[in-house]
Chains A and B, each alone.
Chain A
Amino acid sequence: MKNKEKNRPFVSLGFTDEKVPEGTHMCLIFTKEEERKDSLLKYLLSGLKDGERTACFSGKVTENELRDYFSENGISYDERKDHNAIKLSGTSEVYFDEGTFDPDRMINLLTTYYNEAREMDFPAARVIGEMIPEVEKVPGGDRLLEYEAKVSILQEDHPVTAVCQYDANVFDGATIMNVLKVHPQMIVNGLVVQNPFFIDPHEFLKSC
């Protein structure tokens, strides 16, 4: 951890006991549907409760599900949406704009997202996205690990907290292992674990 990252406030992920520093890049490998939904909903809810700007890049949840879940927890989805506190987009819509995967475009998007949040006086911003196996088929898809590494680099100056969801059922074990290597932290059995596989993003990018 670099010095500038040391004094960052801790934020709750919502689905783990431990809090993590703002701007953490977390990998979540899941195999069950309830793991996916539970972590996603709790993560977003936790961010909203703390007044953060939140975004969800996943096609596995609908607005109505968010609306109902937030409503059960005393938060109006529509109201928060009107205040730009939450944004829901499908994975393909965000990651595969015009049918390609461009890590730099994604990094710009995340940078803009975070800067806007700060301009709109949100105390922090978080994002959760689920990658899908289609990434291995679209042009630029082989740059997935590069993207993940660049997210870690982005977070050095723009501490947007990011959780990357990977469904172990649809990604090969080798891909999972590679993905782990570009996430500094991972969730194992519900615990936040410092990733021993993690390769410094700058070194990783040099090797690409």
Chain B
Amino acid sequence: MKNNHKLSAEVLGQIAIMQSVIPSLPNKTSMLNFACQGLKDIPGIEKITFQLFEREGKLIQNRINKNHLYKSFPIKANGCESAVLTFLIRKEKDFVPYIPYIDNFCNVLALVIEEKKQRMVNENLIQKMEDLVKQRTIELEIAKERLSIALNGANSGIWDWNLKTGVIYFDRNYYTISGYDPYEFPGKYKEWKKRVHPDDIEKAEKSIKDYLDGVSEQYIDEFRFLRKSGEWMWILGQGKIFEYDSDGNPLRFSGAHTDITIRKSAEENLKKAQNYIVSILDSMPSVLISVNSKGIIQQLNKKAEEMINHKSSELIGKNLNEIIPQYYNEISQLETAIDSGEKINRRRKQIIINEDIHYKDIIVFPITTKGEKGAVLRIDDVTEQVKMEEVLIQNEKMLSLGGLAAGMAHEINNPLAGMIQTAQVLASRLGAKAYNKANLEAAEKAETNMDSILKFLEYRDIPKMLSAIHESGLRVSHIVENMLSFSRKSNQKSHFYHIPDILDSTIELVSSDYDLKKDYDFKKIQIIKKYEKDLPQILCEKSKIQQVFLNLLRNGAAAMEGRENPLFVISVSNDHNRKNLRLTIEDNGSGMDEEVRKRIFEPFFTTKPIGIGTGLGLSISYFIIAENHSGTMSVKSVKGQGSTFIITLPY
């Protein structure tokens, strides 16, 4: 470096370059060291030192010792913090021209230090902010991790849909819960849509649209989603709009999808179990109706729907008493049953339905469901059972009565025969053979004659009495003969017959019956025949079956006596299930009440005037059908409206 009194371009360039390099130096000390080292080349300088301290003022110190002048240049940074460059000047004359440049350099240095300091403050702030952001990021990551773990535990994945760009962010879980690799498919609506079950997509899209359009207040939906494996999984979708644009339109729609396949499966199983139970209940022959403690219908089975003739949807929630008032007595006891916890059992309750008597068994079971008390009403129609029981009882009675009658008949028959025979002998000896030798000799021994005796008998109506005894004996004999038919095995052999043929021949026989003509005009009775085609033939004794039909037609005709339009409806049908023929003979006669109906087949029971009929016709008919042909015979009747006799014959 040159020493002259003029300014050196190299020195000035050096100062300029120093000003450019200083900002690259990291701290104040390094800058001051750099400055001291660089400015040392300024002419007239012996040495440069620096001090770091706080002080104001530009020229700090000018002091002179014996040989040297010291000049100090302050470097103000930020108004208070400063350094001082102190120049030990050897030749002031050489140095002085550079003072303005040194001043300028010091100002630049001060600015750089100030800027550096500010930058450090800023960097510290930035660093703090970065640290804060890092901390928050870590916390967020932890929170996300926890959320992810929680969601993973809950088998959930997050989605975040930017409605403006159409981009959807799916988190890792979203993919992994359905078996995909993380981010395996792009975050696009169409990617989601093509994985939703075809049967669910319409509903799923509507749920989203309704929520975004504000039609529904919340977005919650369940749909099936395609796993990577090709299986379907059930998803519970929930979401919320988190951001709106300036026009108030939804911008960000976020939420979670949860795998609810297990729950759905459990629900399906429960549904199947419920359906199974409902199927069982529906298949039961009993009417089942569950009610709460106030008698409000909660549930009912198919049989109940049939009985009430309404769908369950129309009945649930209604008061049972309004629906089946005929069970008022039982319903009124519901509360008692529920309170006591004891069931109520009512057997053989008579209910009139369409003017027919039906028998019902009614049981009220108190139940408790989820803490709420209620009851199940069970109604069983036992009409057929009751009738069957009646038939069985009737059978028992008939057999016992029949047996008794047969036994009695045997006992009566012998003395009766003697009585009739004796009456015949008496009539003969006092009638046509009155003047025979034995009578004449007996009259002579009695010191009378036959003319006087016959006149006496005539005067006392003895011949008429004898005739009455004989006729009564014959009548009793006829009854006994009938009674013996309860036990007598027929000698006839059974053959296959076409029942309608037997019916037709019987009708023909009845039409020409003299007695019948006398009592009833059979030809005035309209007969409607309903014979099913292709009926099977029945193995039976024709004469006995004919006897049964004859009895029924005679009785029916008698019941229709005096009716304006007497009518027989005779039908024969094939009951394929039970493998029997069902024959009904219906009249529109006077009918009978329940008491008569129950006894109609009893021997000697008759509603005819005394002396007309033996009271054995129907009981013998019953015996023929039930005992000889293994069939059944019953009667339905309504007083004043007619009767229907029903016969079944097996084939």
Residues of A within 8 A of B (CB): 29-31, 168-169, 171-178, 180, 186, 188-189, 193, 195-197
Contact = CB atoms under 8 A, between A and B. Distances in A.
Contacts of B10: 196
Chain A binding site: helix, strand, loop or mixed by DSSP? mixed
B35 A196 contact: no
Contact of B33 (A29, A172, A180, A188): A172
Nearest to A196: B13
Q: Which of A30, A168, A175, A188 has the most CB of B within 10 A?
A: A168
User: Which of A176, A177, A188 has the largest count of B CB atoms less than 10 A from its CB?
Assistant: A177
Contact of B25 (A176, A186, A193, A197): A176
A176 B29 CA distance: 12
A188 B34 contact: no
Nearest to A169: B26
Contacts of B11: 196
A174 B33 contact: yes
Interface string B35-52: 111100100000000000
A180 B35 CA distance: 12
B107 interface: no
Interface centre among A31, A175, A197 (most CB of B within 10 A): A197
A173 B17 contact: no
Nearest to A32: B24
Given A30-B24, A31-B24, A176 B30 contact: yes
25 contacts: A29-B24, A30-B24, A31-B24, A31-B26, A168-B25, A168-B26, A169-B26, A172-B33, A172-B34, A173-B29, A173-B31, A173-B37, A174-B34, A174-B37, A175-B33, A186-B17, A188-B17, A188-B20, A193-B17, A196-B14, A196-B17, A197-B14, A197-B17, A197-B38, A197-B41
Q: Which 7 A-B pairs have the closest CB atoms?
A: A173-B34, A177-B37, A173-B33, A173-B30, A196-B13, A174-B33, A174-B37
A156 B297 CA distance: 115
A139 B36 CA distance: 26
A168 B30 CA distance: 8
A69 B575 CA distance: 100
B21 interface: yes
B21 A180 contact: yes
Given A173-B34, A177-B33, A177-B34, 11 more contacts: A168-B30, A171-B30, A173-B29, A174-B34, A177-B18, A188-B20, A195-B17, A196-B14, A196-B17, A197-B14, A197-B17
Contacts of B379: none
Nearest to B36: A174
A10 to B, nearest CB: 23
Residue among B11, B18, B36, B38 facing the most chain A CB atoms (10 A cut-off): B38
A136 B96 CA distance: 36
A168 B24 contact: yes
Contacts of A168: 24-26, 30
Contacts of A176: 21, 25, 30, 34
Contacts of B406: none
Interface string B141-170: 000000000000000000000000000000
A177 B24 contact: no
Nearest to A193: B17
A173 B25 contact: yes
Contacts of B13: 196
Contacts of A31: 24-26
Contacts of A169: 26
B32 interface: yes
Contacts of B31: 173
B35 A173 contact: yes
